[in-house]
Structure 1
Amino acid sequence: MKNFNSYCVAALTALFILASSAVQAQNGNNSFYNGQPFKQLKSAIEANSAAIAELNADLAALQTELAEVQTDIGGIEQQIADSEAAIADLQAATGDLETDLASLLAQHQSDVAAIYTAIANTEAQIAALQANVQAEIAALNALVTTLSTTVDADISALLAQTTSMLAQIVSLNAQLSVHTQQLAAFDSALASVESDISALYDTVSTIDGRVTTLESYHSVLITVEGEAYGHHGACSGFNGCVDAATCAQAACEVNGYSNLVSFGEVKPCTEFANCNLFYSLDPLNIDMNWGNWCPVAGVTEIRCSN
């Protein structure tokens, strides 16, 4: 826009000089400015060109400043976006905190309700005890009233009996206190016994582990690599053996051992090199080296002892 205005000023200046020259010619004045009619026009054009160049330079500087301002605006917008994201995170954290506070409030209310219930139960027990005490006092008062209506000799005896009853009540209260202390001691002893029982369980567990370890040392492996025991019947499951443990026990017995210590993998005989299949368990009747052509169940790594 500034360049356009400069061009307009230069054109108007040139037109003015030409018009002035024409007027002087019409007035019979043939002397132009120093005999050079376009010199002033040229000077004006050069001045306008210099002004235009300066304006262009100012415009370029202004455009540079505008680009820097736009860059600053972009940075500010990014800061605003980051601030909005931080605000969103803060709002989310505030929501979580409100949820936790609500949960804590609910728990607090539940605890308070439980405490009020316990207080109510305690108050009811206290009221029952007070009623019992009042009943005992009323009974004693009635007894005293009855005694007061008897003869003087009987009154002395009745008073003695009343004193004895009161002494018995005091004694019973003392015994109750002793029993309470004994109960506390019993609870402490029971806790100690439970601790001892737990320690005994740990000891038994350790002993069982040692026994298992010793049995593994004293047991005999009756199967070789790839050998298993099963039972004739359907081409699946343990058939007459029912389960792997029964089949392993029978395998120990058929090999001259009385106790099954442990057994290993259980899988179809097609996955073993060879299976020995029982015909029956009572009496023991076995088909040794039967093979592995049917997926009847077999058990291997059988350890036995006597």
Structure 2
Amino acid sequence: MSEITIVTAFFDIGRKGWKTYERSSNRYVEYFKFWARIKNKLIVYTDKITAEQVIKVRDEFHLKDRTQIIIIDDVYALEPEVYKEIQNALSNEAAINFRSYPKNPESWNSNYNYVTYLKPYFVADAVKKGYAAGMVAWVDFGYNHGGENCIYADEFDFLWCYDFSPKIHLFAMEQPDNMPIFEVVRTMRAYIAGAIMVAPAELWIDFARLYKESMLHLTHCGFADDDQTLSIMAYRERPELFEIHPVDDWFIALKDVGGAHLTRASKLQYKESKKQAKHFWQEGNYLDAIKWYNKYAREKLQAK
């Protein structure tokens, strides 16, 4: 089976101060540390401070020589015209209030939407510069949220290999349909679990272009959104480039495609999922509350 090169990125966008959605940079580093023992070549786009932490973590697992850091001093200078378009769209209160959950980060935060938009950009950049070849995966820096789904960190001590078809592989919580994009934006329906995306190196160039076109289509209509909506837009534009894998959780993709040994959450996790569901419900964030209640129900069933 083919070894997969992994690309990830992290930039501090001020999330520590977001009510209900607060996460510090240190928490993200801890999330990363949970899966960072994976033996694949890892390319990380980040700032100087986080770069030092990443190298330290990978060195602890004797994987420093399989790690390449690309330091970005100003992430907003990478695609300034796109960032400006996102800011313009979200400067309009009507665009924010159009959303079913206007307090969610993707409804109002330009930085959040911009950095999630950059996922294929980073992988395409790694390919163009010769850092990555063959089959390449995007994996979120905070993948698995420190054991939210796959519960044992030591099980990530393996070389991820899998024989993917020569397509762009997306993992879907819901199968794509023909719901109009403005309705996807309004209802905040999330089809794609974008924590992992996989494609042959050359297709990441196409994927990044489709992402850019999708974001600009949105902003020209007065909206902006995160990678989940951009992914479904890209898929609809060129469905022949994609292969969709159904999944039942945001962080289960790796287990389904080469990480079968990873242990899923069961009774160790379902009580925490119920707690999260109650928290979101009390905050009036009913969409996330329902997602967490569904997760709680699945985990409790598995624990029996």
TM-score by length of 2: 0.16
Greater Rg over alpha carbons, structure: 1
- Given the two structures, how large is their TM-score scaled by the length of structure 1? 0.16
Instruction: Give the structure with the larger helix fraction.
Output: 1
